[in-house]
Structure 1
Amino acid sequence: MSPNYETTPGSRRGKWHSLFVLSLITGTLLHVAPQAWAQSPAAKPSPDVIVFTNGDQLTGTLERATGDSFVFKSDVVGEITVTADKIKELHTAGKFVALRNGEEVTRTSKKPATITYQDSVIALSDDTSSSTVETVPVKDLAALIDDATYTKEVSGNPGIFQDWTGGVTGGVTLVESTNTGETFTAALNLIRLVPSVSFLPPRTRDTIDVLETYGKLTQPTVPQTNPPTPDSVAKTNIFHADAEHDKYFTPRLYGLVGLSYDHNFAQGLNLQQIYGAGIGYTVIKTPVQEFDVKADIHYERQNFVPPTTSNDLIGSSFSELYHRNLPHKILFTESGTFIPAWNDPSIYSAIFEAGLLLPTYKRFSLNLDLQDNYLSNPAFGYKNNSFQFVTGVTYTLK
């Protein structure tokens, strides 16, 4: 027997009431949703406009200004640099911060404002009242920085893992014959500048460098003896790592703290540690080349293979660093460091390094690098010099 469901008049009224409410909600949604979907997206801001002294106009986006040079990007002509004497008027929709010549750039936030340029004067206006809050003659202008760049590069503070640039290098050599051998090379070179843009004075700089060369050569005894003589094995293991933090007092003068570690089987050096602080100065700085000199005072610990005794030293590092951008985006780098010990003048060391980075494909480059390490007091039976010529493929991180 089928179950008997009893339907009362009250239950039917509840059912029809629910259906009425549901249809009312559905109808409302169907009426409102198309109107919401049909709403047009937010209007794009009007383009920036340059009016030249000859009457021509160009629309696009003002990116920045340095001195009397304005960098403007247009869909028609791309990115161009226009000097102020060729501009009659300039109107922008973006917000900018104007820095005057000689003005100290600090992390104290300045309020970005809308700008106009006319009669060799930049006027910054408050959006809320459209009144002029500041005027800067172009002859007094050091830099004009957009809101996003100013927030990131000046008032912001990047995290420890942000804004690093540099490259990773790797190389390998394999030998399979009567002798068997392999050599592996790996390098990591990182640098971080704050701010990261060249048109602002530097605030801090961090560098990290790591180089590892490992090799093993296996030589069998020929002719073999009876009983067999074990194969002879020669190993190479050279490791260097350093890190430095620079704090700028002026655009060229900076203080520094740094450390370095060296391990070199070729000199009987198990581990050399250096911890120091000093001062540096940028002698040359142009878009093409840069030349720095540095000096520090440090504690140095040398640990050698037995029976050579270890040393605790107080010394200094005198360094020079140079890099130059060559044609075809080739980069040349060179550095030299002399490290005397003050508590034992007979102990000193020196490092010289030079390299070329040759672009090959997109972010990949061919790296040619030579390094010569000299140690006046190597372990007993080891040579003073350790020379390396390293080739590899470098991937640029940013």
Structure 2
Amino acid sequence: MSSNYQLNPGKWRGKWYSLFALSLITGVVFQQTAMVWAQSAPAKPAPDVIVFTNGDQLTGTLERATGDSFVFKSDVVGEITVTADKIKELHTGGKFVALKNGEKVTRTSKTPAGITYQDSVITLADESSSRVVDTVPVKDLAVLIDGATYSKEVTGNPGIFQDWTGGVSGGVTLIESTQIGRTFTAAVNLIRLVPSVEFLPARTRDTINLLETYGKLTQPVIPQTTPPTPDSVAKTNIFHADAEHDKYLTPRLFGLVGLSYDHNYAQGLNLQQIYGAGIGYTVFKTPVQEFDVKADLHYERQNFVPPSVSTDLIGSSFTELYHRVLPRKILFTESGTFIPSWNDPSIYSAIFEAGLQMPTYKRLSVSLSLQDNYLSNPAFGYKDNSFQFVTGVTYSLK
């Protein structure tokens, strides 16, 4: 049996030559491209260097400085704080902004520049022209901020959903016996500072707080009657919500606008609404504690269950707030508010709150809180005081 198909050696040899040439050309192109990429790739910046007064050196990254304390991060020793009297020289490739003591921070006041430190003086220079922009003696330095942080915290304007901190809490109590009970508690406490870093003076502060306690207890009639008597049901429903926006006029004095809503079934209060504006003052503030006082003038509307009549009031809120970080990062908070009315002095209310938040695992904490609400004019047949003690679990947002 014969075949009409015959191999053509010259034809196949030409194909192999073509494939070889194509492979050679492709390899050359890849090699040249890799060389171009390697040449165009930015060189890794040199590490920052601290030269100590004793001659030792430490490489790493300068993060910031507050007063005469420089925060430096190194792969060898981690983050450390070095005082200026121990530094002979400091060289960094980053761009920074230096704010002097008493200098007012504005959104257009500074441009980040390269820095060097020598002889107790910080020198800021334009990297493109090497022109000295400013010199700041370390004794006059308030804060040294890296360019990225300055752009975000000072010149930037965060969106409404950015930079919120705080926590979300919840708890539940269940009873399954002759009585059947359910109690649920939930709380949301949010705060946003602009700027969000502690070493810059605050421009604005926003707070949002929500608290809901709902409970239902079913109790059968014992002994049961004939015909049967329906079970008795007791309900608890306490809701509070408030929001406030603060605008700082000075590092301690701020103006405020706020609103709050309250519903308290235990006092026959269907809804209390407050809308007002006022001023506040930070009495003292340290890294571990802060104490603020506030006062406002507001409109207040109280709506009660019938037959009690609703009221329209012009009043004020006088508030004090305190928080402190205890050992082991336990957070203690306390606040008290007295709310008199000016058009009817016989009507007033007061709120006292206190709480502990104890970290347990990562962002989870065990929380204990109490709240006491007093209302001088509760609905007919209801008590004037409502007290809550709540335990739960809190998840911190940051």
Answer yes or no: same fold by TM over 0.5.
Answer: yes
Give secondary structure in 2 for the equivalent of 1:168.
strand
Shift, 1:61, TM fit: 0.5
Give secondary structure in 1 for the equivalent of 2:148.
helix
Query: Where do residues 194-343 of structure 1 align in structure 2 (5 Å cutoff)?
Result: 194-343=194-343
**Equivalents in 2 of 1:34, 1:233: separation in Å?**
83
Task: Give the TM-score, by structure 1 length.
Answer: 0.93
**Equivalents in 1 of 2:80, 2:383: separation in Å?**
57
Shift, 1:317, TM fit: 0.1
Taking only aligned residues, the RMSD between alpha carbons, in angstroms, comes to: 1.8
| Residue identity opposite 2:52 in structure 1 | F
**Equivalents in 1 of 2:390, 2:340: separation in Å?**
27
- Aligned residue number for residue 113 of structure 1: 113
Shift of the 84–230 alpha-carbon distance from structure 1 to 2, 3 Å rule, reads same
**Equivalents in 2 of 1:360, 1:239: separation in Å?**
28
Deviations along 1:175-208, whole A, 9 cap, x unmatched?
0001101000000000000001111111000000
Query: Where do residues 1-398 of structure 1 align in structure 2 (5 Å cutoff)?
Result: 28-37=25-34, 39-40=37-38, 42-108=42-108, 110-398=110-398
| Residue identity opposite 1:32 in structure 2 | V
Count of residues paired in the alignment: 382
**Equivalents in 1 of 2:20, 2:32: separation in Å?**
19
| Residue identity opposite 1:98 in structure 2 | A
**Equivalents in 2 of 1:356, 1:177: separation in Å?**
32
Report if aligned partners of 1:109, 1:155 keep a CA contact under 8 Å in 2. Answer: no
**Equivalents in 2 of 1:119, 1:321: separation in Å?**
44
Give secondary structure in 1 for the equivalent of 2:149.
helix
**Equivalents in 2 of 1:133, 1:181: separation in Å?**
70
| Residue identity opposite 2:318 in structure 1 | F
Shift, 1:27, TM fit: 5.8
| Residue identity opposite 1:112 in structure 2 | P
Give secondary structure in 2 for the equivalent of 1:149.
helix
Report if aligned partners of 1:171, 1:391 keep a CA contact under 8 Å in 2. Answer: yes
Shift, 1:42, TM fit: 3.2
| Residue identity opposite 1:133 in structure 2 | V
Deviating more after overlay: 129-138 vs 56-65: 129-138
Give secondary structure in 1 for the equivalent of 2:224.
coil
Deviations along 1:24-82, whole A, 9 cap, x unmatched?
88765442224434644532110100111111111111000111111111111111111
**Equivalents in 2 of 1:157, 1:199: separation in Å?**
18
Shift of the 166–25 alpha-carbon distance from structure 1 to 2, 3 Å rule, reads farther
Task: Give the TM-score, by structure 2 length.
Answer: 0.93
**Equivalents in 2 of 1:329, 1:234: separation in Å?**
39
**Equivalents in 1 of 2:114, 2:45: separation in Å?**
13
Shift, 1:127, TM fit: 1.1
Report if aligned partners of 1:256, 1:279 keep a CA contact under 8 Å in 2. Answer: yes
Contiguous gaps of at least 5 residues in structure 2 = 1-13
Identity %: 81
Give secondary structure in 2 for the equivalent of 1:79.
strand
Deviations along 1:250-302, whole A, 9 cap, x unmatched?
11100000000000000000000000000000001011110000000000000
Give secondary structure in 1 for the equivalent of 2:104.
coil
| Residue identity opposite 1:131 in structure 2 | R
**Equivalents in 1 of 2:85, 2:387: separation in Å?**
56
**Equivalents in 2 of 1:298, 1:161: separation in Å?**
27
- Aligned residue number for residue 6 of structure 1: none
Report if aligned partners of 1:348, 1:375 keep a CA contact under 8 Å in 2. Answer: yes
